[in-house]
Amino acid sequence: MMAMASRNALLKNLNLILSRKYTSRTQVISGTSVELPSCHGKSLEQSDYKRWDNGGGMFHNSACIDHTALIENGAIVHSNCTIAKDVQIGSGTVIGSSTSIGESTTIGYNVVLSNCSVGQFCVIHHGVCIGQDGFGFFIDDKGQVAKKPQMLNVRIGDHVEIGANTCIDRGSWRDTVIGHFTKLDNLVQIGHNVQIGKCCIICGQSGIAGSATLGDYVTMGGRVAIKDHVLIASKVRLAANSCVTKNITVAGDYAGFPAMPAEEWRRQTVNMRLHFKKGRSL
């Protein structure tokens, strides 16, 4: 009996603690009873976050949001953000602190934006992540893998389109930049400090390693890989599955691994086939 009484007392105290730490309350919004989430005894409605009338998402009091913006239910805009007119933010999207989004930009579902600025008339598709830390590590004096500071930002130009599940890392020694009118396909990886010029087209599953620089009007086929710290001149076109391992300073078409002028790559491919064919005939 004493053990049962002790158990009941323990459960009572536990319920009391939980009721104090996590509370909720019901509020009638537009005639509908809505359960408002809360934590540590303070509901979201009582905190620095409020519900946006146009769409039902949440926003921080310090955010500057144009009244025409749409923030869908489940999205959240954090402190000191700037959201221009006619911006649309889909459900599940998180806009990190001090992020700015330009006029008439459309952001899909489950997007995460942080440490970045986005220009006007951009389209950011579902699942995109922009502004997270880049992949930078080194071996310290103790022989351990240590992280390099990733403290800078991402700057997205105007009229940029970014495909679903593409990732763009923030800079470490310079901002990561995507130029005006550049278009990125789905599943593209842009490393930290990469700078891409205007009107570039980058197809799916391509990867650009950190600190690479692309000029204007560069076109990359699917699954192209670009080594870190290389420079690619304007109006270069890279065939699918190419791998750029050194600077390309002359405009034109390139292909192969390592990437070379496309005509040279074609000749090498033909010669190799003829060589193997001749070898089999012997």
* Active-site residue list: 192
- Contacting residues for 4 by C-beta, under 8 A, at least 6 apart: none
- Cα separations (Å) of 17 from 133, 251, 260? 38, 68, 68
Per the document, the length of the chain is 282
Spatial separation of the C-alpha atoms in residues 50 and 170, rounded to whole Å: 29
Looking from the CA of 81 toward its CB, the CA atoms found within 13 Å total 27
How do 252-255 and 236-238 pair as beta strands? parallel
80 token code pair: 């000191």
C-beta neighbour count of 106 within 10 angstroms: 17
State the maximum Cα–Cα separation within the chain, in Å, rounded to a whole number.
95
Q: CA Rg, the chain, in Å?
A: 26
DSSP character for 106?
E
